Amino acid sequence: MKKLLLSLLVVGLTSFGMTRGQEPTGGGSLIRDITGGAALIFRAPKDPVVHVAAAVQTSLGGGKIKGTKEPAKPPVRQQDQIIARANAARSAPKPRYAEAEEQYRLAAKIAPDDARAFAGLGNVYVDQGRFTDAVAAYQQALKVKTDYTAVLLPMAFSLARLDRYPESIDMYQQALKADPNNPEIFNNLSFAYNHSNRFQEGVDSSLQAIKLLGDSGQAYVQGFQERNEILSYAYKNLGNAYNGMNRYEEAANALKRAAEIEPTNAAAHFNLGLTLYNAKRYSEAIEAYRQVIKLRPTLAQAHYNLGLTYYAVDDRKQARDEYEILKTMNPEMAQELFKLLKQ
């Protein structure tokens, strides 16, 4: 039996192209990532709070004095009006980001000591995937108000998207001080630890997320994401951490659980196929890739990896069938697989 080698699986937030593992003696290597293999949970940050002045009472008893008019409510401060307009532009059915950014900048100019304006700017940038700008804005918000915890999670997420994992870990750890039982934070910490090669901490954080979510079916009450979404991601990160420690059996079991929780998530099955291959559980890897193809029939990466897995068990006929399918999907991948089959 010919055996192919696969390097460490680290699933990214989105696809990073056709990243390959080590080149084995026989030629060819499994493709490691596909779009949808996310293991980093994200929720859009809330708009900054707008403070509205309370009405002035006319007497200590709070009643109306006969013969007097109701006092006019004091106008909302200009700063709050600007932030409210910015919030409305960002939250519109079709977000008006340019307008929101302009208004938040105006608010920051009028009151540079108001952290809300910089937090709002950061939110607008995150919405648009402008993570470098988002980090700078959130840093300014924290400079103005050091205990402004609302920016910690989106800032940590932005840092992770920029591959600035040590800084991201620091932000998530700060967020834990304010919210110590948040499974979202532990899940994302595991992701950042794995990308920093701190795999044992990745295992520990994933297990804590799973514990907080409750793997016995109890409801997730925090309400930011569906419980199963975070639970599946926690198992994905757990599997990736075990992969980093070359503990392939444990990795395969964790990713199998992730696929069970999200049976229609092609990426979960794809990751499971990769890890089962590492664990030399080839027949199970074949079934995992078949499930990927069932969910996403035109995913060339799955056909390629399935062909290589068939080759690993000396099933040349099935491998050649995958080659024939690949020819119409991705000629480059098909040619790589064909070179291997000619040996």
Query: Per residue in 256-266, pLDDT tens?
Result: 899 898 888 88
> CA 256, CA 221: separation in Å to the nearest integer?
25
Burial of 280 (0-12, 13-18, 19+ CB in 10 A): middle
Note every long-range contact of 103-106, with CB atoms under 8 Å and residues 24 or more positions apart, other chains counting: 106/82
Number of domains in the chain: 1
Instruction: Give the type of residue at 123.
Output: N
Residue 306 lies in a domain: no
Please indicate whether residue 1 or residue 321 has the higher confidence score (pLDDT): 321
CATH number at residue 145: 1.25.40.10
Is 193's pLDDT higher than 90?
yes
Classify residue 3 by its DSSP letter.
Answer: -
Classify residue 63 by its DSSP letter.
Answer: P
Lowest mean pLDDT: which of 59-63, 114-118, 267-271? 59-63
Residue 164 lies in a domain: yes
Lowest mean pLDDT: which of 112-116, 199-203, 243-247? 243-247
Query: Per residue in 146-188, pLDDT tens?
Result: 999 999 999 999 999 999 999 999 999 999 999 998 888 999 9
Residue 334 lies in a domain: no
CB 86 within 8 A of CB 104: yes
Task: Tell me the average pLDDT of the chain.
Answer: 81
> CA 325, CA 322: separation in Å to the nearest integer?
5
Query: Per residue in 6-46, pLDDT tens?
Result: 322 333 322 222 333 333 333 356 666 554 445 788 888 99
Residue 329 lies in a domain: no
What is the extent of the structural domain holding 113? Answer: 72-180
The 3-state DSSP class for residue 20 equals strand
pLDDT of residue 33: 55
Residue 7 lies in a domain: no
Query: Per residue in 216-243, pLDDT tens?
Result: 544 444 444 577 878 888 998 999 899 8
Q: Is the dihedral of CA 136, 138, 144, 146 positive or negative?
A: negative
